[in-house]
Amino acid sequence: MSAYRPLTAASLIDYLASHIPLKERLGGNAADWTAREVSDGNLNTVFIVSGPAGSLCCKQSLPYVRVDPTWAMPLERTLFEARWMQSVSAAVGHQIPALYHLDEGLFLIVMENLDTHHVLRGALIQGTAPAGFGARIGEFVGHAAWATSWRALPFEDVHALRDIFSRNLALTRITVDLVLTDPYRRDCQRNRWISPEMDDPVAELQDDIALHAAVERLQERFLSVDQALLHGDLHTGSVMISGDDVRVIDGEFAVFGPIGFDLGMFIANLVMNAYAQPDHDEWMRDEIALLWSSFQHAYQEREENTDTRGDVGSLRAKKAEGRAGSSPWAAERSRFMHQVMHDLAGFAGLEMIRRTIGFAQIADYDAAGDRPSQIEARRRALATGRRLILKAGRIDTVASLLDHV
């Protein structure tokens, strides 16, 4: 435990040199190391420290939002990211970076440096992402969701885990405001859009009472349904890729909630990429279908092949599960997956709207080229987001989802 202070490149090197396991990972002496800041997110500072034997990624919280020092922010967010990594690592294995060190006083985490990887969002914009990444994301969500669910753990363990992440109030408040609320308020100063072309569709959305009622249902789902531990901010900017190696990073928004939230957030970003780059349309459709099928397979595989069960589903017998699709267990599984899809569709709609007119927008739209194309991509995103939110309860399958986008 160390007394908190914002680290610089020089002071970080001194810190790492005083911790033998970290020093050994870098190799040589501190004089041989280099540290460079690579912060590109909204909240934290990130340094890459390199030495003769290897490199480390070091992430530290600031007492404010990095991109807006006037916005005060509790320091604990890196602690929640570390707790998230510890909670899901056994289930997802190499699909997240390895966590090497946590200093709770400095609010500093030291982890594996993914120096051979690239951010998925940038790779999609450039058209260099390998096909099939959707399968890896589906597997990740399926494995993490099962391992932290009431179906996998006794309720005592779920409550203990849920209690940890129920204290992640500051970042959950950001989600509630920026994703679930702000875009639908006329007087919210954090909203922004291209004017005057987008003025009318934004005004229609912010005056749409039927839409607001449907958003309220999703607010309730997010805040009251604790199915599993979520990543909480799963989008193409929080995924690193290198060939077939896909890693999920930045779990600081982790919170218990409906499984469809993570799936919907990620899929929405694929849809918006296709709207900005129409030549990606079939590619993104394929990735969405692959993601959903891989999620179902990963979740169901864990469900069928786990010897121990939580309190939900504890009455199932494996031999009964393996029977033909007419069994009651098959019907219950179908009901569960339909509900995940309902949630997925609704939260995807929320993500498309907030990334188009809210505080934290996406770079994909800039890839549309000229201004008319960018406007068209944004208008499509708003229209599709509204449609998904309103019709979420009737979207049961990935085919139906794709019909609506």
Q: pLDDT, tens digit, for every residue of 81-118?
A: 999 999 999 999 999 999 999 999 999 999 999 999 99
Q: What is the mean pLDDT of residues 228-243?
A: 97
Q: State whether 102 and 251 are in the same domain.
A: no
380: which 2 tokens? 């499509």
Q: Which domain holds residue 86?
A: 9-112
Using a pLDDT cut of 70, give the percent of the chain over it: 96
Q: What is the CATH number for 236?
A: 3.90.1200.10
Q: How confident is the model at residue 179 (pLDDT cuts 50, 70, 90)?
A: very high
Q: Average pLDDT, stretch 10-22?
A: 96
Least confident of 44-48, 314-318, 350-354: 314-318
- Evaluate whether 162 touches 87 at the Cβ level (below 8 Å): no
Q: Which helix (H) or strand (E) holds 47?
A: strand 45-50
Q: Give the H or E element holding residue 54.
A: none
Mean pLDDT value of segment 240-268? 97
Q: Is residue 68 located within the same domain as residue 185? A: no
Higher pLDDT: 198 or 2? It is 198
> What CATH number does residue 39 fall under?
3.30.200.20
User: Do the bridges between strand 55-60 and strand 108-112 make them parallel or antiparallel, or are there none, so unpaired?
Assistant: antiparallel
Is residue 224 located within the same domain as residue 367? Answer: yes
Dihedrals φ, ψ of 96, to 5°? -125, 160
Percent with pLDDT over 90 in the chain:
86
The DSSP-derived string for 153-221 is: S-HHHHHHHHHHHTT-HHHHHHIIIIITTGGG-TT-TT----TTTTHHHHHHHHT-HHHHHHHHHHHHH
pLDDT tens profile 58-74: 999 988 876 677 878 88
- Residue ending a domain, choose from 112, 142, 170: 112
Tally of domains within the chain: 2
Q: 292 or 328, which is more confident? A: 292
- Give the pLDDT confidence of 133-160 residue by residue, as tens digits: 999 999 999 999 999 999 999 999 999 9
Residue 1 lies in a domain: no
Residue 32, classed as helix, strand or coil, is helix
Residues 187 and 223 occupy one common structural domain:
yes
The model's pLDDT over 385-395, given as tens digits with 9 standing for 90+, comes to 999 999 999 99
Confidence of residue 321 (pLDDT cuts 50, 70, 90): low
Give tens-digit pLDDT for 270-307.
999 999 999 999 999 999 999 999 999 999 999 888 77
Mean pLDDT of the chain: 94
Q: What is the 3-state secondary structure (H, E, C) of 225-278?
A: CCCEEECCCCCHHHEEEECCEEEECCCCCCEEECCHHHHHHHHHHHHHHHHHCH
Residues 337 and 265 placed together within one structural domain of the fold = yes
The owner of tokens 């498309």 is: 352
Q: Quote the pLDDT of residue 348.
A: 98
Helix (H), strand (E) counts: the chain: 15, 12
Angle, vertex CA 346, rays to CA 336 and CA 204, nearest 5: 160
Check pLDDT > 80 for residue 40. Answer: no
Question: Which pLDDT score, from 0 to 100, does residue 262 have?
Answer: 98
Instruction: Specify whether 107 is located in the same domain as 122.
Output: no
Q: Does 390 map to a domain?
A: yes
Considering the domain architecture, whether residues 107 and 162 belong to the same structural domain is answered as no
pTM over 0.75: yes
